[in-house]
A = this chain, B = another copy of it.
């Protein structure tokens, strides 16, 4: 919980606060318990040997091996770079476009069918097109990730914009605010909770897409490594890649949550 949050009156024995275990460190504790629990279940299942999956120890060994050869680090950096560029670009475009769609009906009518259409198309189907138009460098990879992040965030932003409390917009207008000011100073802050949903889902999509993106002629990257491993049915390496992706995604998500907390501490949250 942020420091400002603690100014909110705790409510006794009931909704939410009554069940809070206290501070952020308690939360971290539960998270750790959850992870340990998950690993234990995984170990239990695999030790029975039924499903033919590698156990945690085996994956850990492989992870250490890959980390030792610096492959893991270079893969992680390569993927992280792509995801960060595509994701940030996607968000940066989605926010103004979402506003345009919420604000100007013409923009909505023109853009919405395409947003909705392209969201249903799997990234794999976009790749050949991206190659033809953008070559096989970093551009098409980042583009595919950009698209994934953009298409999810734009829906959330748009919904946020049309949900903004009308009285606040009116209050700004009677103070002399014109559209641009209302955008920046009323609509953006008021729709932050929605934008954050889009950003968080967009982040997940970006990572999930990096594997597809690295189908495009990547020379390194966690998704690339995973595909290599898939050729040889090298399950431990696949797991190491997946877990590395998951952990990086999780870390980025934590950062987003922290930003969200800072941006929406003004809210009277339940």
Binding site for B on A (CB under 8 A): 8, 11, 14-16, 19-21, 26-27, 29-31, 33-35, 37-38, 51-53, 102-106, 108-114, 116-125, 129, 132-133, 151-152, 155-156, 159, 161-167, 169-170, 173, 179, 182, 187, 193-194, 196-198, 200-201, 203-205, 207-209, 211-212, 223, 226, 238, 242, 245-250, 253, 267-270
Contacts and interface: CB of A to CB of B under 8 A. Distances in A.
B120 A246 contact: yes
B246 A200 contact: no
A268 B110 contact: no
B167 A120 contact: no
Given A34-B114, A119-B208, 15 more contacts: A30-B109, A35-B113, A117-B247, A119-B207, A121-B208, A121-B246, A122-B208, A125-B226, A125-B238, A152-B152, A155-B200, A166-B268, A187-B270, A194-B197, A198-B201
Contacts of A170: 11
Given A117-B249, A212-B124, A109 B165 contact: no
B173 A14 contact: yes
A162 B5 CA distance: 13
Contacts of A26: 105
Contact of A116 (B122, B165, B250): B250
A106 B212 contact: no
Contact of A133 (B30, B51, B106, B246): B51
Contacts of A238: 125
A162 B27 CA distance: 16
A197 B160 CA distance: 9
How many copies of this chain sit in the oligomeric assembly? 2
15 contacts: A15-B179, A51-B129, A120-B246, A120-B250, A124-B211, A125-B242, A155-B197, A163-B270, A164-B269, A164-B270, A187-B270, A193-B194, A194-B194, A194-B197, A201-B201
Given A120-B249, A121-B246, A270-B163, A109 B33 contact: yes
A50 B40 CA distance: 56
Given A159-B193, A245-B121, A15 B116 contact: no
A78 B194 CA distance: 34
Nearest to A126: B242
A31 B166 contact: no
A105 B20 contact: yes
A35 B116 CA distance: 12
B38 A114 contact: yes
Contacts of A205: 119, 205
A92 B167 CA distance: 34
